[in-house]
Chain A
Amino acid sequence: MKPLAAFALAVLVPAAAAASLLVGGTPLSVAQVAGALAHPHRDDTLNVIIWQLRLPRVCIAATVGAALALCGAMLQGMLRNPLADPYLTGVSAGAAAAIAVAMLAGASAAAIPAIGFVAGLGAALLVATLARRGSGIDLNRLILAGVSLSTLFAAIVTLAVVRAQSSNYAGTIVAWLAGSIAGRGWHDLLTTAPYLAAGGFLAVLSIAPLNALRIGDLRARAVGVDVERAQWLILAGSSLLAASSVVLAGLVGFIGLIVPHLARRIVGSNAGALLPACAAIGAALCMLADAVCRSIVAPAELPIGVLLAFIGVPTFLYLYLRPAAAAARTARR
């Protein structure tokens, strides 16, 4: 990674976090935020806003953004498919279907994240099992199994929403599907921390094999990659990261698909630089998006997934469809 890019990415995350802490239903000054951060045990409204409302949300947004972007980069690298995203393995659709059904069945709100997490991982495991060939994974079957099962799970969600129309749950299910960090706190972050840490550790272990997989499975095998083991490692890591982020923020699209492309344009495809860059850009983007979501129509909130799609997709299309010469200049960096 070039020093300038590394510096920019290192500054990006704290800058986005600071901006995100300043913005919200109650406008705060830099001095107020700094004062509250410096005195965490002071008992006043300001401290409640910072320590109980905004800081956990900023941390969750950063975690979700980093996890989804990492996950997208890992899957795109393994599948060598630029359209791969964290939800390709059925994690989100499985979690969504289980949560929708659980809500309809009247499960307690406290149990919902756990149900989503287990169902998400279960769906990923089912997809991986269907795609299994020998001791490894057939990548085309993985995509086909992921897409087909996701369609089936989506049908279950639709059915649940239709059934829930007569009750109060329809709105809750739809809000959850749109992705939101509203109402999440330290407890949610702590609950998912072990799984996020495990996913992050597997992401670090997957850096070297991801680099070798860039030249194709056969050549990667020839240079010593245990391709089957690498595939399981990447799938396990990405599933843990995706399932944790689903629990924390529902279905947040865009980040996992697009951020790896943006990061690749800035730092290239070496996973040693790409994964940290993805984590930084994903975290910053998600923090800023969440800040806008909770301030633009305050006291109401926009779903983060919707906002990211509205702002992110045109930006991304501009980057990809701009004149070829400019794109080539960036790619050569």
Chain B
Amino acid sequence: MIELHDVALDVGGHPLLSRVSARIEAGELVVVIGPNGVGKTTLLRALAGVHHAAGGTMRVDGIAIGAMTAFERARRIALVTSDDVLLDALAVRDVVAIGRFPHHRWWQWRSREDDDTAVVRALEAVGMSDFAERLFASLSSGERQRVWIALGLAQETPILLLDEPTSHLDLRVAHEILALLRELASSGKLVVCALHDINEAAAYADRIALLGNKTMLAIEPPESLLNDRRLDSVYGITMERIRIASGGVRIYAKDGRWVSRERRSRAPNG
């Protein structure tokens, strides 16, 4: 379980988010949405303990995230990020195997049987088993994205945080990955991911957290959040809601109906 109480986050001394409070239970899939630069990535990094909060408390299963060692944190929380790094001559299997780091002591670098099993399982889960021996550098952006997700899965943590896991992925693979996250949540993992596609979020999330106006405006089930007019003001665009056959709601930008700057700046807080 993750508990956030009055959390404030800065980047380079500039306040990004404040008064963020939420409680996320094991078995939940929560999707974080919000415009570019609102703080989705920073929030996920703070939850993973790799970005220090400027204020408030963040706890995982009752333990303050900041009080955990890097090792303890990485055994509980995996963070999948979408930024790329240059990896020379590293095979896909080697990249994913790095996710096993927290299951070893510093002086133990040889892989064990359970490491190999975890790596194989993670690659299977993202449909990359056939790519295990390929050089990471030779993969497409979408394939690389799936490898990063496999790395997070190989960490075998009860909490999985993903920053835009469907970026670079085609429609089918994106939905396969979201279905996998849904399945992981249903099996008891706590999954939080940042997405840009609100309809993807609505289709798979238990709850959606909306970031805007430097705070978390809401964390609600998709049905109620998609009908919330604050979405329009946060994104600065008029949205059209359509009820689909299954009873759910989908949301689209209405052509040419931009919200004025004044209206955006007057968007109500949580």
On A, residues with C-beta under 8 Å from B are 80, 204-205, 207-209, 211-212, 214-216, 218-226, 264, 268-272, 331-332
Binds A, one of B5-13, B97-105, B117-125, B171-179: B97-105
- Report the minimal beta-carbon distance from A127 to chain B, rounded to whole angstroms: 25
Contacts of A332 in B (CB 8 A): 89, 135
Does B50 sit at the interface, judged by CB under 8 A?
Answer: yes
User: Nearest Cβ in chain A — how far from B144, in angstroms?
Assistant: 11
Residue in contact with B98 in the complex, picked from A204, A207, A214, A221, CB distance below 8 Å: A214
A79 CB, min distance to chain B CBs, angstroms: 13
Which 4 pairs, one residue from A and one from B, show the smallest C-beta to C-beta distance?
A224-B74, A224-B102, A216-B85, A222-B79
Nearest neighbor of B134 in chain A, beta-carbon distance: A332
Stretch in B28-36, B54-62, B106-114, B223-231 with 4+ CB within 8 Å of A: B106-114
18 additional A-B pairs beyond A80-B86, A271-B109, beta carbons within 8 Å, are A207-B107, A211-B101, A214-B90, A215-B87, A215-B95, A215-B151, A216-B83, A216-B85, A219-B85, A222-B78, A222-B81, A224-B73, A224-B75, A268-B94, A270-B94, A270-B109, A331-B135, A332-B135
0 or 1 for each of B68-79: is its CB under 8 Å from A? (1 = yes)? 011101110011
A47 to B110 Cα, complex, angstroms: 43
Q: Which residue of A lies closest to B83 (CB)?
A: A218
Q: Assuming A205-B107, A208-B106, A211-B109, is B70 touching A221 (CB within 8 A)?
A: yes
A284 to chain B, nearest CB (A): 23
Query: Does B88 interact with chain A (Cβ within 8 Å)?
Result: yes
- List, in ascending order, chain A residues with CB within 8 A of B99's CB: 223
Q: How far is the CA of A269 from the CA of B97 in the complex (A)?
A: 13
Note all chain A residues with C-beta closer than 8 A to B88. Answer: 269, 331
Set of chain A residues within 8 Å of B81, measured between Cβ atoms: 218-219, 222
- Does B48 sit within 8 A of A, measured CB to CB? yes
What residue in chain A is nearest B86 (Cβ atoms)?
A: A80
| A208-B102 CB under 8 A given contacts A214-B87, A222-B50, A224-B75 | no
- Chain A residues contacting B104 (CB-CB under 8 Å) are 208
**What distance in Å separates the Cβ of A214 from its nearest Cβ neighbour in chain B?**
6
Q: Among A204, A215, A216, A269, which residue has the most Cβ atoms of chain B within 10 A?
A: A215
A223 touches which one: B45, B90, B109, B155 (CB < 8 A)?
A: B155
Tell me if A218 and B94 are in contact (CB < 8 A): no
Q: How far is A58 from B17 in the complex, measured between Cα atoms in Å?
A: 62
Given known A-B contacts A215-B87, A215-B95, A269-B90, A223 and B74 have beta carbons under 8 A apart: yes
A222 touches B48 (CB 8 A): yes
Among the interface residues B78, B88, B89, which one has the most CB atoms of the partner chain A within 10 A? B89
Q: Compute how far the CA of A222 lies from the CA of B101 in the bound complex, rounded to whole angstroms.
A: 10
> When the two chains form the complex, which single residue of B89, B108, B109 contacts A269, counting CB atoms closer than 8 Å?
B89
Chain B nearest CB, measured from A228 CB (Å):
9
Please give the distance in Å from A326's CB to the nearest CB on chain B: 14
Q: Which residue of B lies closest to A268 (CB)?
A: B89
Contact pick for B107, options A208, A215, A223, CB 8 Å: A208
Residues of A within 8 A of B89 (CB): 264, 268-269, 331-332
Using Cβ atoms and an 8 Å threshold, which residues of chain B touch A211?
A: 98, 101, 109
Pairs across A and B, CB under 8 Å, 9 listed: A208-B104, A208-B107, A214-B98, A215-B87, A218-B81, A222-B79, A226-B69, A269-B88, A272-B110
Known: A223-B155, A270-B94, A272-B110. A208 touches B101 (CB 8 A): yes
- The reply to whether B101 and A223 form a contact with Cβ atoms under 8 Å apart is yes
Chain A residues whose C-beta falls within 8 Å of the C-beta of B155 in the assembled complex: 223
CB distance from A236 to the nearest CB of B (A): 14
Among B71, B95, B106, max chain A CB count under 10 A is at B106
Give A269 Cβ to nearest chain B Cβ, in Å. 6
Q: A270-B94, A332-B135 are in contact. Are A226 and B107 (CB under 8 A)?
A: no
Q: Which residues of A contact B85 (CB under 8 A)?
A: 80, 215-216, 219
Q: Are A208 and B87 in contact (CB under 8 A)?
A: no
Query: In the assembled complex, how far is the CB of residue A260 from the closest CB belonging to chain B, in whole angstroms?
Result: 12
Task: Give complex CA distance A260, B105 in Å.
Answer: 25
- Considering the complex, give the chain A residue whose CB is closest to the CB of B45: A218
